[in-house]
């Protein structure tokens, strides 16, 4: 299974002992199955209308999956754009030779704009000041910079309020150094049963688009949908959808539409680092939060909240030999303990799954999110860089 990791790591990392795989990696890691990623894209491509374009959202290291690997797979599967948030994220991909169109979400600092223009990073514009500054910088560079107009249709995060969007679109149109290439907005809630607000946002978006069309302002890419919108709101697809979560095989919510064949690409693994035999009334871990009701056999998992594992107490579980072993005591920064008394004899170094599938069972990102009192997005993006990412089945790369 662990094929192609050596050469891929070497491509991605500077030549250090860790990067070249000289150091043995710690007995805890995150496996990303690139074959599943490619398969998810096949499934998405078959599901979507043919002309609908895809922007692959690879911000925050593609939600912890590795932006470079995910971007390459998405582009090979036909994605037209990459979506990022910080200038560093985008430049890192440029440094690795990715020449694709990249759209930066969020707000830009003035000092970032010359970099964006020079490296062809497309920005979203939210106000006139930005239009003027970007226009000046593009003109000085002798370029006509494409921009996407970001409309606030009710999320009230970034963007120009829908009622003022037309005049901003006209301001962009009047600027010779800018090209109004895209118009976009973002849903506050697209993946829950109740679509009332999403439909209201869609109506506001459509209102702006008609006002623009009435004045002969044409745009190439109109886009509103994230993964939830892609799945559940086909009437909001327009020209392009922005897919983040779904490419990783995790649904944005429990109630959105499912597509057969989508599979999670991430598995969080570790090896049993120790075994302790407890007598009745022995306690476990910091704060003595667990007291053994009888003789117990526990296994030590070398992962903790310093790796992004939720700081649980006597809650949650791992998979060992395809069966669930409950967490006992509190999770520490670097380790936690699980009760394996009822499992067949657990061996030192045995592979344990903290999130993902093992045998017939699976601990999903949604399940971990419940333990963490959070959402699956936070769970995926919350695994820290301290856990090495091992990309497997990447052998289709040239
Ligand atoms: C993060 C983000 C997305 C991706 O959302 P998913 O639910 O992960 O598909 C799309 N659009 C914008 C503007 C985003 O910030």
220-231 pLDDT per residue, tens: 999 999 999 999
Q: Matching CATH topology for 34-248 and 266-392?
A: no
- Residue in this structure with the two tokens 């000041």, named with its chain if needed: 129
Sequence-ordered list of residues with C-beta below 8 angstroms from that of 83, at least 6 positions apart, any chain: 55, 56, 57, 58, 59, 102, 103, 104, 105, 242, 244
**Is 286 designated active site?**
yes
Q: Does the domain made of 34-248 have the CATH classification 3.20.20.10?
A: yes
Mean pLDDT of 24-31: 94
Asked whether the predicted pLDDT for residue 1 surpasses 70, the reply is no
**How many helices, marked H, and strands, marked E, lie in the chain?**
12, 21
* Ligand 1 atom at minimal distance to the Cα of residue 105: 13
The pLDDT confidence band at residue 19, using thresholds 50, 70 and 90, is low
Report the alpha-carbon distance of residue 168 to residue 360 in Å, rounded: 54
Domain ranges of the chain: 34-248, 266-392
67-99 pLDDT per residue, tens: 999 999 999 999 999 999 999 999 999 999 999
Q: Say if ligand 1 is within 6 A of residue 231 CB.
A: no
Catalytic one of 41, 59, 251, 309: 59
Class of domain 266-392: mainly beta
**Is 59 designated active site?**
yes
- Residue in this structure with the two tokens 């797979």, named with its chain if needed: 73
């Amino acid at each position: 299974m662990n094929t192609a990791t050596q050469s891929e790591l070497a491509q991605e990392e500077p030549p250090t002992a860790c990067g070249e795989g000289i150091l043995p990696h710690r007995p805890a890691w995150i496996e990303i199955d690139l074959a599943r990623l490619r398969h998810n894209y096949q499934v998405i491509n078959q599901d979507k209308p043919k002309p609908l374009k895809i922007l692959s959202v690879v911000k925050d290291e593609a939600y912890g999956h590795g932006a470079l690997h995910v971007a390459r797979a998405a582009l090979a599967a036909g994605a037209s754009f990459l979506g990022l948030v910080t200038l560093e994220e985008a430049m890192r991909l440029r440094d690795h030779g990715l020449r694709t169109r990249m759209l930066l979400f969020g707000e830009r600092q003035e000092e970032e704009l010359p970099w964006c223009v020079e490296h062809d990073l497309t920005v979203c514009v939210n106000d006139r000041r930005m239009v003027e500054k970007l226009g000046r910088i593009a003109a000085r560079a002798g370029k006509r910079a494409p921009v996407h107009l970001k409309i606030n249709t009710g999320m009230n995060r970034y963007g120009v309020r829908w009622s003022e969007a037309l005049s901003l679109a006209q301001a962009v149109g009047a600027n010779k150094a800018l090209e109004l290439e895209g118009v976009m907005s973002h849903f506050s809630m697209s993946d829950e049963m109740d679509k009332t607000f999403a439909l209201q946002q869609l109506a506001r978006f459509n209102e702006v688009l008609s006002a623009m069309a009435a004045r002969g302002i044409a745009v190439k890419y109109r886009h509103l949908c994230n993964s939830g919108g892609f799945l559940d709101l086909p009437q909001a697809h327009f020209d392009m959808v922005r897919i983040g979560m779904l490419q990783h095989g995790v649904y944005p919510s429990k109630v959105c539409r499912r597509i057969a064949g989508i599979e999670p690409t991430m598995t969080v693994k570790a090896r049993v680092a120790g075994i302790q035999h407890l007598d009745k009334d022995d306690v476990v871990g910091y704060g003595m939060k667990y007291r053994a009701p009888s003789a117990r056999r526990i296994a030590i998992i070398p992962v903790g909240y310093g790796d992004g594992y939720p700081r649980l107490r006597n809650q949650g579980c791992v998979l060992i030999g395809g069966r669930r072993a409950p967490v006992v005591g509190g999770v520490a920064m670097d380790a936690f303990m699980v009760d394996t008394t009822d499992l067949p004899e657990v061996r030192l170094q045995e592979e344990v799954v903290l999130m993902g599938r093992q045998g017939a069972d699976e601990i999903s990102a949604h399940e971990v999110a419940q333990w963490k009192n959070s959402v699956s997005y936070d769970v995926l993006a919350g695994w820290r860089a301290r856990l090495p990412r091992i990309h497997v089945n990447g052998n289709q790369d040239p």
